Structure 1
Amino acid sequence: MLKAIPLFPLDTVLFPGGPLRLRIFEQRYLDLVRDCARDGRAFGVCLILEGREAGEPALPAAVGTTARITDFYTLPDGLLGISAEGGERFQVASTRVRDNGLVYGEVRFWPDEPAVAVPPEHGLLATILERLLDEIGGVFAKVERTRYDDASWVGFRLAETLPLAQPEKQQLLQMTDPLQRLARIQHYLPRFQRA
């Protein structure tokens, strides 16, 4: 079943459960934030394939993630800042641009991934993630130890934390098998090893 949601094309990939902080200044996105906050709705975040974040409507990737606003604040420059959290993944069937320049997508939501334990051959990835998150701090620094046993959670957190190119992150988002995602991330690891 298709559902129409507002889209916010960005130069970043949002993963389920992942944090997102945005600086809002264009009127179309101020409208989006107002409407979503008023109705408790989520908006869709898609990686920009062509175009830019500001100005003319950009061409979004066909797979994205919903974002639900969790906090508002005023930035030092006086602009609106929001914090949001990634939710469900979706596939865009079609888009249309409203007269205010806001892109709406007819989307089909993907089911949640099945709960799969991190297998022994990918145990190193959970250890690396735990060390990274301890070092970085932030929202995931103090999560329950059991989260590191969840293949989807570990894969999504590594995908957003490692310095991968945005198209690589998009590929990881589009994968539907958590173990295949971990295998792909393990394939990327050698490039991050110190000489």
Structure 2
Amino acid sequence: MSSHDFVVDRSVSIARGLPLSEEVGLGELTLAGFLREVTSRFGGREALVHRLDDGSRERWSYCDLWDRSREVAKALIATGLGKGERVGVLMTNRAEFLSAMFGAALAGGVATPLSTFSTPAELEYLIGHSAVSYLLFEESVLKKEFLEILCDLDPQIAVSTAGHYASSRFPFLRELAVVGGEGRGAARSWRAFLDLGQAVPDDRLDARAKA
């Protein structure tokens, strides 16, 4: 049989049926909706366990994850995140990685994970070509000091003040927040970043998450 013997029935390639939102049992169609649904069903159950450097363990229930994700989302909204803007997440497998990923989705952004295995040159490429507007990152991973690496890649990060970073090196990036450090220059500490969201009302966040 030659390739000319095949006949393609294009009518079968057309999708037909109910809208996804009307399909029974399909569940939520967004990350924000998924987390809300899981939290409503299993709120008190353990969602994650993170072993800290001192050997202790941090444990979050699904309700904790929901609350922490909303904190991140409100901070993103407070600092001007627009719908569809990319939020870079440069972290290891830790609790804040999940709250950053879900928080970006709740606020209407696009979570963009960046590998902590990246060399400085690779990280420069990833930040530039992913066009992230936000970079939420872990200060130290093994022997890598990411705040120092970022300041080396663009000295403007070290000398700018938080909320006023603008550079031709990373023309889309404007906000940075660091987990595990005190912050420096344009990079806010994680606590300072989260505190910015306290003035954002719940109904504003809820409206974004539903959209």
Fold equivalence (TM over 0.5): no
Higher relative contact order (CA 8 A, sep 6+): 1
Q: TM-score range by the shorter chain?
A: under 0.3
TM-score (norm 1): 0.26
Of Structure 1 and Structure 2, the greater strand share is in 1
Higher helix proportion, which one?
2
